[in-house]
Chain A
Amino acid sequence: MLTSTATAAATAAAGTSTLTCLTANLASYLDATEADPLGRIARSVRLAVCAASPPDSLAFSHHAYSLGHLGNGRFLHYRSTSDVPELLARLDEQIGRYGSVLVVTYAGTMAWSLAQPADAAPHFTRVTAHAGGRWHVDDAFTALLPAGPQPPYHGWVSTADLARAMTAPKPLEPQHRLRQRHVFGVAVDVPDGTYRWLEPAADDPATDIPRTPRWTVDQAAALDRLGAYFAEMHQHPDRSRFIDDVWAAAQHHLFRYAHLLEHCHLDGADRDAVAAAVTAWTGVTMSLHFAADSVARGRARPSLVTTVFGALAEAERRCQPVLSRYGYRHPVR
């Protein structure tokens, strides 16, 4: 329920501003080798969830096929080191070979971030050049954060600032580790080491491809499961750690609808269905933050949460024929 962006038209205008940090910067990374990376990302969007470790945690899959698959028999892999000279050599090598490299940074340690310094949320950004001891960062991510609007960043940083940005300010929490592991939509190994980045390689790194029965891959069932999960935040306050994953799902779906509206000519009924879904996704994260804040004030709001997820599931159900018609829907596996 944003004040002025909860319409399909506004979302269409928003375009890539609704992408998450990985997808926004991955799209730029792939621009050099793919004809339509944004179309591939838009058509990959889905929502699947799975119980994860530690207990009462959830893993999220936001893409029906791996975004790490580069389409030419090559896949993005995490690489890591704790040695700065090795890191710098590898980044140089990747920039020389591919024109840029995607690196893992952290919200609280990036000099250009508005986030609190202790915020260990993983972030992906693109490093595009190295000259005179400085590194050129192209971070296409933009979002409204609690601290204010985070604009894209395009500028030079020192080696020390880059290494600092790539160092987690504190040990990662379960939701952060799960997010890194499932960032492509499939599970991949995340190696130990202070500094991480992504490199193309020939073998598929997927260790778990989300499919039934362990995963809830049917979207209606996934939304129902999430509604039940967050409705019990008054009994399990730590579940609020996963609200950002729902935010990511909302951003991906809003981008999918923006892409659909921009590239396909929809009739009035189809546009109405999409507009209703956009409104529903726009309100879901805010409703969860409201519910979490209410719990903190001693006001449990379980029916508010289930009402929101029920309405979202209904809006998505109405959109399924539209998504099928234009190639944005995936078979449930």
Chain B
Amino acid sequence: MTTTPVAGPDRQTVFDAVKRLVARESRLSIDPQAIPDDEALDGQLLRITSVGLLGMLIRLEDELSVTLPDDIFVGRVMHTVADLATVVTAATRTTGER
């Protein structure tokens, strides 16, 4: 299986998707756009466990048609919404199997 890498999704699209998912995962009934970029993933507002984060990464790959980088689990600490969105923004968009 090979894929054709092209530019990843734009920053705003990624942040919108990330905030929607963290709000859902934390069972919040607020406007996802109201969540600050620097909000902690596991803090006063958001309650994202490692299990929840894993599920979100999978959903983000599917929803944004991206492939997260092979080093996503190496040396990273994802504390905030922006940390997560930055990783996804750097992902490579896939255009399908060849």
Partners in one complex: yes
For residue B31, CB closer than 8 A to chain A, the reply is no
Option from B42, B70, B73, B79 in Cβ contact (under 8 Å) with A283: B73
User: B46-81 vs A: 1/0 string, CB under 8 Å?
Assistant: 001111011001100110000100111111111100
- Cβ-defined contact, A4 with B79, below 8 A: yes
A287 and B54 CA atoms in complex are apart in Å by: 9
A-chain residues with CB within 8 Å of residue B75 when the two chains form the complex: 276, 279-280, 311
**Is there a chain A Cβ closer than 8 Å to B41's Cβ?**
yes
Contacts A144-B49, A290-B57 given; indicate if A4 touches B42 (C-beta within 8 A): yes
On whether A3 and B48 interact (CB within 8 A), knowing A279-B77, A283-B76, the answer reads yes
Q: Verify if A300 is at the interface (C-beta below 8 Å from B).
A: yes
- A172 interface residue (CB < 8 Å to B): no
The smallest C-beta distance from B64 to any residue of chain A, in angstroms, reads 14
Cα-based distance from A303 to B73 in the complex (angstroms)? 12
CB distance from B32 to the nearest CB of A (A): 18
Question: Does A97 have its Cβ within 8 Å of any Cβ on chain B?
Answer: no
| Residue A308 CB within 8 A of the other chain | yes
Q: Bound complex: CA of A317 vs CA of B67, how far in Å?
A: 30
Bound together, the chains give a CA A304 to CA B50 distance in angstroms of 18
What per-residue 1/0 map shows which CB atoms of B12-35 lie under 8 Å from chain A?
000000000000000000000000
- B70 proximity list for chain A (CB < 8 A): 301, 303-304, 307
B41 to chain A, nearest CB (A): 4
Which residues of the partner chain A approach B71 to less than 8 Å between Cβ atoms? 307, 311
* Interface size bracket, A side: 20 to 34
Q: How far, in whole Å, are A278 and B63 apart by their CA atoms in the complex? A: 31
Chain B, interface SS category = loop
Is A7 close to B, CB under 8 A? yes
- Known pairs A2-B50, A3-B50, A4-B41; A299 contacts B77 (CB<8 A): no
Tell me whether A1 and B79 are in contact in the complex, defined as CB-CB below 8 angstroms, given that A144-B51, A286-B54, A290-B58 are known contacts.
no
Considering only residues 265-296 of chain A, those with a C-beta below 8 Å from chain B are 276, 279-280, 283-284, 286-287, 289-290, 293-294
Shortest CB-to-CB span from B94 to chain A, Å, is 9
CB distance from A75 to the nearest CB of B (A): 36
| A residues in contact with B49, CB < 8 Å | 3, 144, 149
Contact A289 B79 (CB under 8 A): no
Asked whether A1 and B73 contact (CB < 8 A) given A297-B58, A297-B62, the answer is yes
B74 touching A280, Cβ below 8 Å: yes
Q: Report yes or no: A3 in contact with B73, Cβ–Cβ below 8 A.
A: no
Shortest C-beta distance, A122 to chain B (Å), equals: 21
The smallest C-beta distance from B67 to any residue of chain A, in angstroms, reads: 7
Given the complex, which residues of B lie within 8 Å of A287, measured CB to CB?
A: 72-73
Residue picked from B71, B74, B79, most chain A C-beta under 10 Å: B74
Most chain B CB neighbours (cut-off 10 Å) among A1, A301, A308: A1
Known: A4-B41, A304-B72, A304-B73. 11 other contacts (CB 8 A): A1-B73, A2-B53, A3-B42, A3-B79, A279-B76, A283-B73, A284-B73, A286-B73, A294-B61, A307-B73, A311-B75
Interface pairs (15), CB distance under 8 Å: A1-B72, A1-B76, A3-B42, A3-B48, A3-B50, A3-B79, A4-B42, A6-B77, A7-B77, A294-B58, A297-B62, A301-B70, A304-B70, A307-B70, A307-B71
